[in-house]
């Protein structure tokens, strides 16, 4: 007996399609429908959860934007204040130099007066 004859004896000969449905077929179809239904329901739930999370993230991003804007304003005001302090420091330095020059001139004036006084004979 050949392999083809052996296979032919194992498979029953049919004239057409076999329209019988077994319990295994019904169980497979039912489990597939249940699986698809559970998948769709879970997908909707997950989509809702993701939507809520995204809205929370969007709200947090808006808060961060406001905070960064405030920090930018604070940095700008600090830079302005630093510029004012630098100008004030320069003015104070110029005033100090002017006073030093005046003190030097006053010292020279005192020395001149002292020398003039010492040169006079009646001052001795």
Domain range summary for the chain, segments of one domain joined by +: 3-123
* pTM confidence score: 0.42
What are 15's two structure tokens? 């004239």
**What is the structure's pLDDT at 77?**
95
| pLDDT > 90 fraction of the chain, expressed in percent and rounded | 35
Strand locations in 3-104 (E): none
pLDDT tens, residue by residue, 25-58: 889 999 999 999 999 888 888 888 888 889 999 9
Q: How far apart are CA 92 and CA 99, in angstroms?
A: 10
Q: Which residues contact 118 (CB under 8 A, 6 or more apart)?
A: 124
Q: Which residue has the tokens 């905070």?
A: 67
């Amino acid at each position: 007996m050949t392999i083809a004859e052996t296979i032919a004896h194992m498979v029953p000969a049919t004239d057409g399609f076999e329209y019988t449905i077994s319990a295994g077929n019904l169980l497979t179809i039912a489990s597939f429908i249940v699986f698809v239904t559970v998948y769709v329901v879970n997908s909707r739930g997950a989509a809702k959860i993701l939507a809520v999370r995204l809205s929370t993230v969007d709200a947090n991003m808006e808060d961060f934007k406001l905070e960064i804007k405030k920090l930018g304003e604070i940095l700008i005001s600090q830079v302005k204040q630093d510029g004012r302090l630098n100008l004030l420091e320069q003015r104070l330095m110029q005033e100090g130099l002017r006073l030093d020059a005046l003190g030097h001139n006053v010292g020279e004036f005192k020395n001149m007066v002292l020398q003039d006084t010492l040169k006079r004979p009646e001052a001795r």
